[in-house]
Amino acid sequence: MSAAPSHTLAPTWLVEPTDPNDLVPGVWPTGAQRDDDGMLRLGGIPVSELRERFGTPLYVLDEDEVRAHARRALDAFRGAAALHGVQARVYYAGKAFLSTEVVRWVTEEGMALDVASGGELAIALAGGADPARIGFHGNNKSAAELERAVEAGVGSIVVDSLIEIERLAAIVSRRDVTQSVLLRVNSGVHAETHDFLATAHEDQKFGFAIDDAPAAVARIREVRGLEFVGLHCHIGSQIFGTAGFRESAARVVELHARLLAGGALPVLNLGGGFGIAYTAVDDPTPIEELAAGIADAVARECEARGIPVPNLAFEPGRAIVGQAGVTLYEVGTTKPVRLDADASRLYVSVDGGMSDNARPALYGAHYSARIASRVSGAPAALARVVGKHCESGDIVVDAEYLPGDIAPGDLLAVPATGAYCYSLSSNYNAVPRPPVVALSGGRARVIVRGETIDDLLARDVGAVPAAGGAPSTEGNDTK
C-alpha cells in the first residue's frame, strides 16, 4: 500500500492500495479467494453462482468461520479464567445477528446466548437454546417480556432499573419461583469509540451509576424469589486494546468488593465490544490477548482487596460473526463527480444501501469494497459506494479505492458485514430485505428468506388485490 492518501478528497486514514483487487487478510473471511479468472469465491463457491441462485443484494455468512470464531473465543476466555482458578461463561451477543440457525451453530460450539428483546428470546428458544444458558438484557423490558423470560426459565436477567426490579418482584412472587439476576452498572469508563457505541459513561440510558448500585442491590436482596448473582458492565463496542477494559474492571471490582459484605457474588460479567477489522488500517486486538488482559486485571484487583476472584462472563457478538459475513451487490450506475479543478470522486450506486446496512448512516461506520466478478488492471479511483435510497446519507462505503473501470453489472462485495447489518435492516423506500445465505462445506443454503413486494403488501391492510376489488378490512376496527 502507499504510505499516505494519494487523493485530496481521501480521508487521512485511507491509503491507496498497490492492487485494488487484493483481498485484505483479517477483513475478509478466511476462505475468501479469487479464481484464476478473478472471480471471488466465498466458502469455495463463485459469487456469480450465488447471484444466479439467490439474486442481489445478498447477505452471505460463512458458517464454518462463525463456528471457528466461537471456538476460539471460548478457548481464549476459558483458558484465561482457568489461569486464575475460576470459570468463564461466554455468551454470544445475539443482537449482532440472530437466526435459529446461528443459535444452533454457537450453542453447538458451547456458547451461551445473550438476548435483548422478547423477539430475540423467541428466536433463541426456537433455535433450541437451553433457557438456563440464556441471559436477558434491555433497558426497558416490558412486564410481558419479563414474564415470558421467567416462564421459560431464562438463566439470568440483567436488571437495568429500579422499576424493572419491582416488575420482576411481582412476577416471581406470583409464580413462586426464584430468578437469578445481575445488576448492570456504568463504570464511568468511556470507550474510545463513537458516542452511540460507548455505553459505560453515566449520561446514557443503560444501567446504574456505581454510587447508586448498592441501594439497587439491597432492594434485590430484599425480594424473596430474586437471587442476586453479580454485576454486569459493558463499556462499548468496536474496541481495540485492553486499557479501557482494565480500568473498568478496577472500578467494578471495587464495587464488587463492597457488595460482598451483604452476600456472595459468584459472577462478574464484563460484557463484550471486542473490535474487528473493517478496513485495511484496522488492527484489532487478538481475542486471546483481550481475554488474558481482562482476566489478569480482575485478578490483580481482587488480590489487592483480599477477595476471591469471581467466575467471569463475557459477551462477544461482532467478534463471532462480523468477519464471517459479506454482502454482495450489483452495480447499477457509476457517476464521476468533479468537486473542483483538481479533485473528483466516483460515485458507484448499488442495488441495496442503508436498508441492508444502516451502520454508515447511523454512526459513520467505515467499510471496504472490492469488485467481486472480475479483476481489473485499471488505475484505482477514489470511489464512494452508495445505495438506491432517496437519502443523500445513503452511503455503503464512504471512501474506497476501486478500479476506475467499474461498471454497471459488476458484482461488488463488501466484507465484514456479518454483524449488525441484517439486525438493523429495514424496508425504507419499501425495499424488501435481502435473504441470508449460509455457506458450509462448499454448499449454500438460505437460512433467512428474503422478502418480496408481496410480503410488504401483505401487512398493508388497505392494499387492493392485484385482480381488483375493494381493500381488505380484516383486522380493522369497523365498529
Catalytic positions are 390
Helix (H) or strand (E) holding 78: helix 63-82
| Residue keyed to cell 436482596 | 221
Interior CA angle at 330 toward 326 and 336, to 5°?
110
Report which of 174, 140, 177 is spatially closest to residue 159, judged by C-alpha positions. 140
Q: Is 434 annotated as a binding residue?
A: no
Q: Are strands 380-386 and 343-350 parallel, antiparallel or unpaired?
A: parallel
Cβ within 8 Å of residue 264, ≥6 positions away = none
d(CA 455, CA 356): 16
Q: Is 49 annotated as a binding residue?
A: no
The full DSSP string for 199-229 is --SSSSSSSEEGGGHHHHHHHHHHSTTEEEE
Q: Show the cell assigned to 173.
A: 412472587
Close Cβ partners of 352 (under 8 Å, ≥ 6 residues apart)? 56, 57, 327, 329, 387, 388, 396, 431, 434
Distance CA 406, CA 334 (A): 8
Cis ω before 57 (30° cut-off from 0): yes
451 annotated to a ligand binding site: no
To 5 degrees, how large is the angle CA 474–CA 475–CA 479? Answer: 95
Angstrom CA distances, 258 to 174, 211, 214, 231, 342, stand at 32, 11, 8, 12, 63
Whether residue 156 contacts residue 131, with contact meaning beta carbons closer than 8 Å, is answered with no
- Please tell me whether 401 is known to bind a ligand: no
Please give the angle made by the CA atoms of 78, 84 and 86, to the nearest 5 degrees. Answer: 55
Query: Of all helices (H) and strands (E), which one includes residue 344?
Result: strand 343-350
**Would you give the DSSP letter of residue 431?**
P
For residue 338, say whether it is annotated as part of any ligand binding site. no
Quote the CA–CA distance of 119 and 134 in Å, as a whole number. 13
Q: Judge contact between 143 and 157, C-beta under 8 A.
A: no
Q: Which three cell numbers stand for residue 118?
A: 422478547
Sign of CA dihedral 382, 388, 392, 397: negative
Cβ atoms of 187 and 271 closer than 8 Å: no
300 is in an annotated binding site: no
Q: Is 420 annotated as a binding residue?
A: yes
Nearest to 111 by CA among 140, 88, 145: 88
Annotated binding site for substrate: 318, 359, 363, 391, 420
